[in-house]
Amino acid sequence: MGSEVITVTTREQCVALDEQDELAPLRAEFLLNEGEIYLDGNSLGPVSRAVRQRVDDVLDHQWGEQLVRGWGSGWMAQPTRLGDRIAPLIGARPGEVLVADTLTFMIAKLVGGALNLRPDRHVILTDRANFHSDLYIMEAMARRAGRPITVKAIDRSNLASHLNDDVALVELTHVDFRTGEALDLNEITRVVHEAGALMLWDFAHSTGAVPLDVTSAGVDFAAGCGYKYLNGGPGAPAFVYVRREFQGVLENPLPGWLGHARPFDFEPTYEPAAGMQAWVTSSPSIIALAALDGALDVFERTTMTAIRAKSLALTDLFIELVGQRLPGHFTVVTPLEHSRRGSQVALRHEHAYGVIQALIGGGVVGDFRAPDICRFGFTPLYLRFVDVFDAVERLVAVMTSESYLDERYLVRNAVT
Ligand SMILES: *Cc1c(COP(=O)(O)O)cnc(C)c1O
């Protein structure tokens, strides 16, 4: 290491990187607070101009003028239409993705359906570091499966040793929400299938952030958030992916009228609609879908390959600058290998909560994840290299002044 050349990255170098950045023009599509550096798009993406236009159009013209006739002129098709817009972001084929509900509900539906496809098996395997909502809903679905089902939350690095012919389903979150580690989609899906189990991926921190190819990975089912990297707005609907081969086979365990083959025949018994429509349970939220529709526009002006290249450059730069400017202050929890990194950087610090609060006070919005993680999301659509530089400058100010110990930054908010 001694002979390694230390490159001190300057602000001018960052400005030069922004000048060459092919994604730079997309920043103008977003409504961002002047002077603020937003490193929390992994939790809630910002508003884009197209979102505002699309929502205004619903209020002014669709709901506003057509009223109930809106259902007959396009609203019903929104869940499948938006699913087809999301499909290319995850490598799905047309007709394999639908937008509805929110993520926890979608996982419940997929788990319920999947358990019925492996009636002789009694185990769901998942990661003990998984997002808590996934763990809660899987437990609840297991209790209601109609046969004994155990949810085994394991250390994911030992997954292979827990796979056997009693495992019905494996559910994993592809990018760890705390550490930012990206799991090996192809390899894990392959070993799960080898054991005869089904694979359900949670793409909450992956969609719109890292390229995914569910088709070549052979993924059975997946679901993800609309409001994180997809920027669909607070509480935006989720999406669900059901591989074509499972359509008509995997049953939606929460059937409702709008997933019926003929909803307006008002028949007393359920008959699922063809294809992904069967995953709709109840009335789609048209205003929320309009917002998500607008949010997806910007993804059509670039590619996931370009987004990924810039994401890695941004996270590399952040990690390098933190190492240069604040040696010894933080432990970088996020993997340094590109293949194992999502689009966020997690830094461990004893006073992580105070650090994040002090940074927010200084105009850099990141977030805290208990017990000791400072989490920073990097969204290539609107972040500049110079933002990374300036964010680290402000972090240096917080760390050297020890303002993170300030009493006003230590009172815990309910939402972190
Ligand atoms: C954000 C998130 C959820 C929760 O999504 P809801 O739409 O609020 O239900 C679930 N799982 C993971 C991994 C998440 O990051």
Tell me, in angstroms, the distance from the centre of ligand 1 to residue 238's CA. Answer: 9
- Cα–Cα dist 346/334, whole Å: 6
Distance of CA 309 to the CA centre of its chain: 18
Q: What are phi and psi of 87, to 5 degrees?
A: -45, -50
At residue 2, the pLDDT reads 42
Residues pairing with 272 in the sheet: 260
* Residue-wise pLDDT tens digits, 202-224: 999 999 999 999 999 999 999 99
- Cα–Cα dist 122/100, whole Å: 28
11-30+304-406 and 52-300: identical CATH topology: no
Domain ranges for the chain, please list them.
Answer: 11-30+304-406, 52-300
List, in order, residues 6 or more apart from 324 with CB less than 8 Å away: 6, 8, 9
- Cα–Cα dist 34/28, whole Å: 12
Q: What is the pTM of this model?
A: 0.96
At residue 412, the pLDDT reads 80
Tell me, in angstroms, the distance from the centre of ligand 1 to residue 43's CA. Answer: 9
Instruction: Check: CB of residue 334 under 8 Å from CB of residue 403.
Output: no
In the residue annotation, 228 being an active-site residue is answered as yes
Mutate to test the pocket of ligand 1, among 101, 111, 131 (most ligand atoms within 8 A of CB): 131
Residues pairing with 374 in the sheet: 347, 368
- Cα–Cα dist 178/394, whole Å: 22
Tell me, in angstroms, the distance from the centre of ligand 1 to residue 253's CA. Answer: 20
* Atom 5 of ligand 1, nearest CA residue: 103
Q: Which residues line ligand 1 (CB under 6 A)?
A: 102-104, 131, 133-134, 173, 177, 202, 204-205, 225, 238
- Cα–Cα dist 224/133, whole Å: 13
- Cα–Cα dist 364/118, whole Å: 48
List, in order, residues 6 or more apart from 371 with CB less than 8 Å away: 352
At residue 408, the pLDDT reads 86
Catalytic residue selected from 227, 368, 378, 385: 227
Mutate to test the pocket of ligand 1, among 99, 111, 133 (most ligand atoms within 8 A of CB): 133
The CATH number of 52-300, from 2.60.40.10, 3.40.640.10, 1.10.10.10, 3.30.70.1350, is: 3.40.640.10
Instruction: Check: CB of residue 404 under 8 Å from CB of residue 347.
Output: no
Does the N-terminal peptide bond of residue 371 adopt cis geometry, omega within 30 degrees of 0? Answer: yes
At residue 416, the pLDDT reads 79
At residue 409, the pLDDT reads 85
Q: How far is CA 281 from CA 99, 108, 269, 284, in A?
A: 11, 13, 14, 9
Tell me, in angstroms, the distance from the centre of ligand 1 to residue 103's CA. Answer: 5
Domain spanning 11-30+304-406, CATH class: alpha beta
The DSSP letter of residue 278 is G
All residue ranges of the chain with pLDDT < 50 are 1-3
